[in-house]
Amino acid sequence: MKNLVSENGISVELANLSQNVGLIVRPLDRETIDAVFAQLANYDESERAETFDYLKHALNETRASLGAEPAFSE
């Protein structure tokens, strides 16, 4: 199935999922991405890896509970 993208650049599937779980999903722009990477540079590399692993696992669990495919494969 083709992943459709809405006018504001957000995946239609993600937009529908966000309505079901009450998340606010906004498109990312270059400024936002730069700010995120700037903040990540302030933390220890092993701490970043541990946090990312935790977030991947949590996202996959949430998607599974909603009947969606995992966002990350192991």
Q: What are the φ/ψ torsions at residue 52 (nearest 5 degrees)?
A: -65, -45
Calpha distance 49→67 (Å, rounded)? 27
d(CA 37, CA 15): 24
> For position 45, what pLDDT does the model report?
85
Torsion angle in degrees (nearest 10) through CA of 24, 29, 35, 36: 60
Rounded Cα distance, 16 and 42, in Å: 34
Give Cα 57 distance to the centre of its chain. 12
Please state the pTM of the whole predicted model.
0.46
Q: Give the residue ranges of the chain where pLDDT is below 50.
A: 1-2
